[in-house]
Structure 1
Amino acid sequence: MAKGNNSGKKFSKKRVIKWVTGIAVFLVLVFIGAGCYFFNMAVVPRQKSFVSNGTVAIKKSDPLYKEKMWYKKVKKQTWTETSAKNNYRLVANYLPAKKTVIILHGYMSNKENMGAYAQLFHSLGYNVLLPDAEGHGQSQGKYVGYGWLEKADVKRWAQQVVRKNGKSSQIVIFGVSMGGATTMMTAGLKLPSQVKAFIEDCGYTSAKNEIEHEAKVLYNMPAFPRFPLVEILSGITKLKAGYFLGEASSRSQLKKNTKPMLFIHGSKDTFVPTSMVYKNYRATNGPKQLLIIKGAVHAKSIEKNHQLYSKTVRKFLAKYVK
């Protein structure tokens, strides 16, 4: 009888191990499948339901209607560049003046949506270079780099400005949302000496932090399965696009920066939480200034208080770009 009981126990143990192994394999496959889904949602350029896609129509009710229409009608040159990583063809609009600002758009946006910013800088006497990031607008590309891939391309655009406009060029790099994060990540590179200052508007602390935040807000996803799902997404992103989400860090790059940086954020930003700007602000080692626009939601600071926004940008540039 004892022998039979032992045999039954062994059989029972084997069944339990089988079931546990089967469940574990099933869960791994589910998480990998979910990771692939979120990779296509977050990293592959395509139509997104949670952000504005492509060029946004200009309405007369828009508080920045005049500025945006000015940009639409003004004569532009077309510049091209080759991406640092994959030799994609990149395209930019260029408006000539004296000094130069490179304006970087946000996630799934493009250069045509940056008219109000172009008008502001051009009115201050700046050449305006507006590139489409990889996989956006007219530029080629398979993946979104969240600033990590794009930073090397921005450096190339700056080098092109120096080649075309001469060594006496003075360059400012400005970006909004993902463009703001790209600006901060670019600030950590060894750049041409002609790059004098940076202005970032509502950029995130890192791609990983932002995706974790959006998973929580958009999908109401609790800590589990947010972990390990974001980690799996990060691994897939590394395999396909060449970087981990945690690598795409504004804060780590800002620690290498010694040049002036103006940080701008809306007080009611829930897409890139306002709390992120304070962490970014503390991270940089160069001269810095912080502007919080009261009542502004994500990427709407210039619209919410155009006068204060313009005045702050003008004074900052007058101080650091001669």
Structure 2
Amino acid sequence: MVSLAAPFVIATGVAGISEQLYRYAFNRVNKVPETSKEKQKYADAYYGYVDWLRNQPTQVWHLHEDDAAHKLAATYLAADVQTTDTVIISHGYKGNGETMANYAKMFHELGYNVLLPDDRAHGRSAGRYITFGWLDRLDYLDWIQRVIEDTGQDARIVLFGVSMGGATVEMMSGEVLPEQVRCIIADCGYSSIDDELVYLLKRNFHLPKYPFLPAVNAINQRKQGFSLTQVSSAEQLKRNRRPIFFIHGEKDIFVPAEMLAANYDATQGPKEKWVVKDATHAESFWINPAAYQQHVKQFLDQYLTYRLPQE
């Protein structure tokens, strides 16, 4: 009887642990978690950027405003001097548009309109579950159209994201994008959520891929309707032809450097990369904001006028 019961006990344990893992990783959070200890030294500067953004003449934009279950929100900050150049900034895991205030100020200083969406299950947007950029990439297609409607057909759009946001804009690159989208900047995006979860299962929880990741995937397919194996920046980048600038911290142990290599090798368009010395995950800006802005500006100066070759 003991030997017959063992598989049931094991299966129940796997199911229970997998449900806990899913809730931990995918469930909506309504409060931005505290930053890691090594980034506490940037707290004063971070809140200075947030205060700056809150004092700007911003607008709140919405998608699906009459559908409570799918309503999305974004903060829009127009440039001081009227322009058709806009950056759409994609935030990180369990953040929101406001947590990207430092990047908003950087692009504002460069003369861009700035759009800061809150992803599904983040900030002011609806949603129960985090999609790790996969369904968000489709929402951003709608945000792109909203920018074009507001700015005009001569709009020039930059896609920018950090961490999960970096992966989101990388995954957007494989979609059919309007010609107004000129280039992409991705800071420390993962190559696939499958690989990222395997890495974090081992590093944070000391758990193997099998049987836990397939169980978490089954839960996600039931709740969100897609397989985690689909959520791949590297696969999407194989269809990309636009210029892309990859930024990655040299000492990133959350999204390891192997993922940068996979994404860089996958993309088919003009590409550049900058590995930032001594930077941990999503720390590249904070180590030297002026150097970060200069690298971004150099890339944009070269590629904002880029148009896809006619096939």
With structure 2 as the length reference, what TM-score do the two structures score? 0.89
Distance 2:42 2:170 in 1: 33
Identity, in percent, stands at: 39
What's the CA shift for 1:63?
A: 4.5
Q: Tell me, in whole angstroms, the C-alpha distance in 2 between the residues paired with 1:64 and 1:87.
A: 31
Contact persistence 1:296–1:304 (CA under 8 A):
yes
Aligned to 1:243: 226
Q: Which of residues 73, 77, 86 in structure 1 aligns to 2:55?
A: 73
Is structure 2 residue 214 aligned with structure 1 residue 228? no
| Correspondence for 1:195 | 181
Secondary structure at the residue paired with 1:107? coil
Counterpart residue number, 2:100: 114
Correspondence 1:121-270 to 2 at 5 A:
121-221=107-207, 223=208, 226-270=209-253
Secondary structure at 2:72 match in 1: strand
SS in 2 for 1:171: strand
Distance 1:106 1:236 in 2: 23
Larger Rg: 1
- Secondary structure in 1 matching 2:169: helix
Are the equivalent residues in 1 in contact too, given 2:30–2:122 (CA < 8 A)? no
Q: Deviations over 1:62-90 (max 9, x none)?
A: 3556544432321101111139x996111
**Residue 78 (structure 2) pairs with residue 96 (structure 1):** yes
In the alignment, the residues of structure 2 paired with residue 115 and residue 214 of structure 1 have an alpha-carbon distance, to the nearest angstrom, of: 27
Unaligned runs of 5+ in 1: 1-17
Distance 1:64 1:144, change over 3 A: closer
Q: Does the C-alpha gap of structure 1 residues 60 and 281 become closer, same or farther in structure 2, counting only changes over 3 Å?
A: closer
Look up the equivalent residue of 1:80 and give its one-letter code. H
Query: Contact 2:68/2:126 (CA < 8 Å) preserved in 1?
Result: no
Contact 1:146 1:207 survives alignment (8 Å): yes
Change (3 A) 1:86 1:178: farther
Say which SS state the counterpart of residue 103 (structure 1) adopts.
strand
**Deviation of 1:274 (Å):** 2.2
- 2:309 aligns with none
Contact conserved, 2:217 with 2:228, CA < 8 A, in 1? yes
Is the 8 Å Cα contact of residues 76 and 93 (structure 1) preserved in structure 2? yes
How far did residue 19 of structure 1 move? 4.4
Q: Residues of 2 paired with 1:208 and 1:199: CA distance?
A: 22
CA distance in 2, matches of 1:137, 1:314: 29
Match of 1:280 in 2: 263
Q: Secondary structure at the match of 2:95?
A: coil
CA contact (8 A) 1:293 1:305 kept: no
The alignment's C-alpha RMSD in Å is: 2.3
**Structure 2 match to 1:12:** none
Secondary structure, in 3 states, of the residue corresponding to 1:133? coil
Q: Structure 1: which 4+ aligned runs deviate by more than 3 Å?
A: 18-21, 58-69
CA contact (8 A) 1:72 1:115 kept: no
Give the direction of change, closer, same or farther, for the CA distance of 1:60–1:218 in structure 2 (3 Å limit): closer
In structure 1, the residue matched to 2:44 is: 62
Q: How many residues align?
A: 296
Counterpart CA distance in 2 for 1:311 and 1:140 is 36
- What is the CA deviation profile of residues 157-183 of structure 1, one whole-angstrom value per residue up to 9, with x for unaligned ones? 001111121110010110011100101
How far apart are 1:47 and its partner, in Å?
6.8
Q: Residue type matched to 1:43 in 2?
A: F
Q: How far apart, in 1, do the equivalents of 2:9 and 2:47 lie? A: 53
Cα separation, partners in 2 of 1:60 and 1:288, compared to 1, 3 Å: closer
Distance 1:37 1:65, change over 3 A: closer
